[in-house]
Amino acid sequence: MNKKQATDIFIRIQHEYKRIGDPKYRNIDYDIWLRKYQKLLDINPYLHDNPLYQRLVNGLSQALSKYKKLKRGRTEEGNWVNTSERGINKALPAFVKKPGTEIEFPYEWIDKNRHRCSITNGYWGARNYMLMDALGYFYLLKEGGDRLPDKASEIFRDLDSIRRREIELVNHSVNVEQNASEFMLSQTDVEGYMRSKYWLQFNDKIFRKFTSLKLPSNDIFKLILETSRVEFKLTFPVRLRLNRKRIKEEPYQMNMFSRLFEFGFIEQARQSDGVIRNREYFVRFKTILGELFVHNLKMINYDWIREDLYSLPASAQIFFRKFIVNNNKPKIPINLENIARKLNLTDGNKTNLEATVVTNVLELLKMQGFISSYEKTNGLHGAKYIVSRAFDGNRDNMSTK
């Protein structure tokens, strides 16, 4: 083979790849394109310096990898599941920045109980929810000695004890906005974290394993940093033991803004060009919202989420959290207006909005087995979807992996 023959193979495969519908990973024939990918690798010695060739190889590699990951989710082979604390999914809103719009913080909304709620110092989306899934599972495994705790326990006895703790934390808090470099911990700092009541540690490798996302260390650090800075003042559902036999979820209305956690890191590996390749993180939940999160985890107030959910579009992930994972009903009626509000969708064109919900949410969740089916009907407030929940083990699979 010579360079001209290699170029001809590349151009032919490139044209064929362009004809695959978007998103590629949903429309690709895996076996056929795996063979074509191997052909591209075979001609690498002739085209390794061609940027278009490199772009095609990278794009095809990602499409094949994503197809394989989602197929594993559909067949439930080797699937990883994470705990997902219910209060986070119920109370924290999806709030993402829209292109060309400016948001004035704090941003306020009224919840279903007519309470005024606020968010400030950042946005909240699918990746932030995912991070809290991982942190919650890390904490539970630490508490249980590398397995989930067998019995429920608690931090708070009642709403009054939460209120007292919130006042205590506010009186002792120091509001310092750190630069990214200031999150690197000394040995004394690490010991301080480990003396905290509610803390955990993990590294980039473990985070990638729990999420099945191949994020570089800098992206993981950025996600943790941005998530740690968001502040909420809202009504948070807390699982409380009313007496020996009765446990009930009670809403606690926060009086002050609170972050979910504080964190720092130490370097584990740095490349020759100065880029950090691996970090070890230390997290402590020393805020009222963080302690409520931990309390609910200790009270076994969590569901289960398969890791292949994290590979779906953000709108599909959020829909599953807001409407499906906390719901035991076999059929769930959801009107389009409520879907748009919960998913932070702002398209005023109803036709486009319905197409987005069907294509990017319902069809993908059905394809992955997170729902079994859906049908559109007309309700009192316009279009409505009846979603049939898939009882496939997402909630009941209690494997500690």
Strands (DSSP E) found in 9-100: 81-85
Compute the distance between CA of residue 1 and CA of residue 256 in angstroms, rounded to an integer: 70
More confident residue, 97 or 15: 15
Nearest to 342 by CA among 316, 374, 372, 377: 316
Give me the mean pLDDT over the 25-54 stretch: 89
Compute the distance between CA of residue 176 and CA of residue 183 in angstroms, rounded to an integer: 12
Q: What sign does the dihedral 252-324-122-348 (CA atoms) show?
A: negative
Query: At residue 252, does pLDDT exceed 90?
Result: yes
Rg (CA), the chain: 23
- Which tokens in the block code for residue 80? 């990883």
Task: Decide if 235 contacts 115 (C-beta within 8 A).
Answer: yes
More confident residue, 366 or 347: 366
Query: At residue 318, does pLDDT exceed 80?
Result: yes
Give me the mean pLDDT over the 377-387 stretch: 86
Task: Decide if 325 contacts 303 (C-beta within 8 A).
Answer: yes
Q: Determine the pLDDT at residue 178.
A: 63
395 — pLDDT class (breaks 50, 70, 90): very low
Cα 19 from chain centre: 32
Residue 222: CB atoms within 10 A of its CB come to 14
User: Rounded to the nearest 5°, which phi and psi values hold at 163?
Assistant: -65, -40
State which amino acid sits at residue 65. S
Task: Decide if 347 contacts 301 (C-beta within 8 A).
Answer: no
Q: Determine the pLDDT at residue 103.
A: 84
Compute the distance between CA of residue 65 and CA of residue 48 in angstroms, rounded to an integer: 21
Query: At residue 391, does pLDDT exceed 70?
Result: no
> Which tens digits make up the pLDDT trace of 253-280?
999 999 999 999 999 877 777 788 899 9
Q: Domains of the chain: which residue ranges? A: 3-75, 81-307, 324-389
- Which tokens in the block code for residue 257? 């803004």
Give me the mean pLDDT over the 284-297 stretch: 97
User: Rounded to the nearest 5°, which phi and psi values hold at 204?
Assistant: -60, -40
Q: Determine the pLDDT at residue 399.
A: 37
Task: Decide if 376 contacts 385 (C-beta within 8 A).
Answer: yes
As a whole number, the mean pLDDT across the chain is 88
Q: Determine the pLDDT at residue 164.
A: 96
- Which tokens in the block code for residue 75? 């067949």
Nearest to 298 by CA among 194, 151, 400, 398: 151
- Which tokens in the block code for residue 98? 């829209």
401 — pLDDT class (breaks 50, 70, 90): very low
Q: Determine the pLDDT at residue 360.
A: 92
The CATH classification of domain 324-389, taken from the options 3.40.50, 1.10.150, 1.10.8, 3.30.1370: 3.30.1370
Sequence-ordered list of residues with C-beta below 8 angstroms from that of 323, at least 6 positions apart, any chain: 332, 334, 339, 342, 387
Nearest to 39 by CA among 22, 56, 23, 62: 56
Q: Determine the pLDDT at residue 8.
A: 94
143-152, 283-292, 332-341: least confidently modelled range:
143-152
Q: What separation in angstroms does the CA of 246 have from each of 156, 163, 239, 253? A: 15, 22, 11, 22
User: Rounded to the nearest 5°, which phi and psi values hold at 169?
Assistant: -65, -40
> Which tens digits make up the pLDDT trace of 57-79?
989 988 887 777 666 544 455 56
- Which tokens in the block code for residue 293? 């999160």
Is the full-model pTM beyond 0.75?
yes
Q: Determine the pLDDT at residue 70.
A: 63
Query: At residue 386, does pLDDT exceed 90?
Result: yes
Query: At residue 384, does pLDDT exceed 80?
Result: yes
Dihedral of CA atoms 191, 193, 194, 198 in degrees, nearest 10, equals 170
Task: Decide if 180 contacts 225 (C-beta within 8 A).
Answer: yes
> Which tens digits make up the pLDDT trace of 113-172?
899 999 999 999 999 999 999 999 999 999 999 889 989 999 999 999 999 999 999 887
